[in-house]
Amino acid sequence: MLRDRRRDVRHAGQVPPLSSPDFIFETEFTLLDVGATGALIRSGGIRPTVVAYTQSLGAESVVLDWSGESDPLPAFEEARRWLRSLDPIAYAVVSLIERNGAQARFISANEEPPDSAMLALALFAADGQGRGALYPIKVADGVSLGPPTMTEVEDTDWCPIGDIWANPFCVGDVVRLKPRERALDPSSQLWKTLVDLTKMRIQADEYRSPDYMAFLDDLRNGIFAVAGRPRTGGLRVTLRPRTTYNPIGFITVDANKLVLVDSPEHVPDEGIYA
């Protein structure tokens, strides 16, 4: 859930959305670094925050909120949708995390940071620039930070939002394959089997026949719902039929083969990110 939006900072642990008048990547990354580390040292914690840098509004920020043991990824997906709506020139993410090998566990604002917690921050720009920093946290008579590990775009693998410019599609979006692009080859045996199976279902189950027929229409027209994005394929999108009837499971295609048809206001409960 996106908890609030604002330009100024009035709450402990909230990362200041500072910005220079003209966006200069090096300057903005320094401001982000100083703001995040300062907020953590002053308050002892950080609220997971996403900052959008836009030409018209300057810097806008939202705090991500999830409760208990719930999955934080839908909150990040909602933030991704919010970023897309602003069409920013850059965005930043700040959060406390734990690393377990290649996996990152995000620490909510209401959770006491464990001894292994790290301050993670990253800035990504539409022109392809990107940088991250991971600070080890030391808690003894107050919070202090160890030397950071700096990362470039390809090594900043903990941020689930990804490239919102080359791959703007979010979970729950309805998308269409571009002309001459196909998720399945109409001349393949799989296509013929799916069509024959669905026609049999239409004849055998009149009650659910509208859903079966809608599946066939969408298959012919190349229309699908976005189910997620592979962690290891930042410019690819995982799709599923938008109907309840789903004989094909999930398929993954390149984002540049898709166009957006419709987008829900909120992130659906279901979605895959692996």
Rounded to an integer, what distance in angstroms lies between the CA atom of residue 57 and that of residue 32? 17
Residues 111 and 214 in one domain: no
Pick the last residue of a domain from 155, 187, 212: 155
HSE-up of residue 181 (Cα within 13 Å, Cβ side)? 16
Residues 106 and 206 in one domain: no
Which pLDDT band holds residue 9 (cuts at 50, 70, 90)? very low
Q: In this predicted model, what pLDDT tens digit does every residue of 45-96 receive, in sequence order?
A: 889 999 999 988 788 999 998 876 788 989 999 999 999 999 999 999 999 9
Residue 12 lies in a domain: yes
Amino acid at 78: E
Contacts made by residues 208-213, CB under 8 angstroms, sequence distance 24+: 208/244, 208/245, 211/243, 211/244, 211/245, 212/243, 212/245
Tokens of 256: 């540049």
Per-residue 3-state assignment (H helix, E strand, C coil) for 97-163: EEEECCEEEEECCCCCCCCCCEEEEEEEECCCCEEEEEEEEEECCCEEECCCEEEEHHHCCCCCCCC
Q: Residue 269: is its pLDDT beyond 70? A: no
Residue 272 lies in a domain: no
Lowest mean per-residue pLDDT among 18-22, 93-97, 260-264: 18-22
Residues 182 and 257 in one domain: yes
Residue 271 lies in a domain: no
Pick the last residue of a domain from 155, 189, 207: 155
Rounded to an integer, what distance in angstroms lies between the CA atom of residue 62 and that of residue 47? 10
Rounded to an integer, what distance in angstroms lies between the CA atom of residue 111 and that of residue 100? 18
Rounded to an integer, what distance in angstroms lies between the CA atom of residue 50 and that of residue 81? 12
Residues 77 and 137 in one domain: yes
What is the pLDDT, as a whole number, of residue 15? 58
Residues 219 and 108 in one domain: no
Which range of residues forms the domain containing residue 222? 174-262
Residue 222 lies in a domain: yes
Residue 145 lies in a domain: yes
Tokens of 21: 């008048």
CA 174 to chain centre: 16
Q: How many domains does the chain have?
A: 2
Residue 64 lies in a domain: yes
CA 73 to chain centre: 7
Q: Work out the burial of residue 151: count CB atoms within 10 Å of its CB; fewer than 13 is exposed, 13-18 middle, 19 or more buried.
A: middle
Residue 168 lies in a domain: no
